[in-house]
Amino acid sequence: MRKKIAAGNWKMNTILDEGLKLASEVVHMAKDKSLSETTIIMSVPYTHIESVKKTIGNATNVFIAAQNCHQELSGAYTGEISAAMLQNLGVDCVVLGHSERREYYKETYAGVKAKTQIVLKHQMTPIFCCGEKLATREENAHFNLVKEQLSSSLFELDAVEFAKVIIAYEPVWAIGTGVTASDEQAQEMHHFIRDTIAKNYSDSIAKQIPILYGGSVKPANAQTLFSCPDVDGGLIGGASMDAQGFIDIAKSF
């Protein structure tokens, strides 16, 4: 059975005190017995990682993620952070290839591939983001683009490595816009991604890979989205900034 995952992406929000308050509330609410089989991830700013990790403590269903990392082991890359640094802080997962990184920082397929590989080498889980802009969908080219994103950055991994990846499908036209893909649209793309994985690896690997939906997920629509057979949870942005709302989403499976 695939994991049920609620991953909150805080992006560039909260100063430390605010972040610790939010994290503490999430950890406390995550003790609810109904969430014992749900994986809860908080993707926090770098400045918060060490403190939020301590806040998580021995919680068995709450994990911490970084929002990016550099593709090199070390070196003269002022302002960057390495996979080794994140691993040393106890980071569990790293979000890679987020649409905002691709758009604002011109991240390439090759760069995301290198980041994925180095994150895996440091025993952390990549949360690999893929998805299309509205113009691409309107041109009916969204399936080809997502397939290209997957094949260019992930499909050189061997089966053992690939099985450790979490995929997050994020239709860019639905991120922070209040517009959500319909259940049918989400399921269609998630099924396509799973089928593409099966063709490149195997049915068994495709069946075990968690595929999250990211795009204006909120308590009001989470239950119907998560009921889709190939949707295994959400990569949640704005709604993850409210502890109760985030936990309500996590309870929507």
Which is it for strands 38-43 and 4-9: parallel, antiparallel or unpaired? parallel
* pLDDT lower than 70: segments of the chain: none
Catalytic pick among 48, 70, 98, 142? 98
Q: What is the CATH classification number for the domain harbouring 130?
A: 3.20.20.70
138 catalytic residue (yes or no): no
pLDDT digits (tens, 9 = 90+) for 209-250: 999 999 889 999 999 999 999 999 999 999 999 999 999 999
Integer CA distances (angstroms), 105 to 99, 101, 111, 139, 144, in order: 10, 5, 11, 25, 23
| Residue closest to 214 by CA, chosen among 3, 5, 1, 2 | 5
Catalytic pick among 100, 107, 132, 170? 170
Integer CA distances (angstroms), 5 to 16, 35, 156, in order: 25, 10, 25
CA–CA separation, 104 and 179 (whole Å):
21
How many CB atoms are located within 10 Å of the residue 12 CB? 7
80 catalytic residue (yes or no): no
Residue-level pLDDT at 48:
98
- The pTM for the full model equals 0.97
Identify the domain containing residue 29 by its residue range: 4-250
Which tokens is 108 given?
Answer: 């390439």
How many independent structural domains does the chain possess? 1
Which 3 state secondary structure label does DSSP give 6? strand
Residue-level pLDDT at 178:
75
CA–CA separation, 196 and 217 (whole Å):
24
Length of the chain: 253
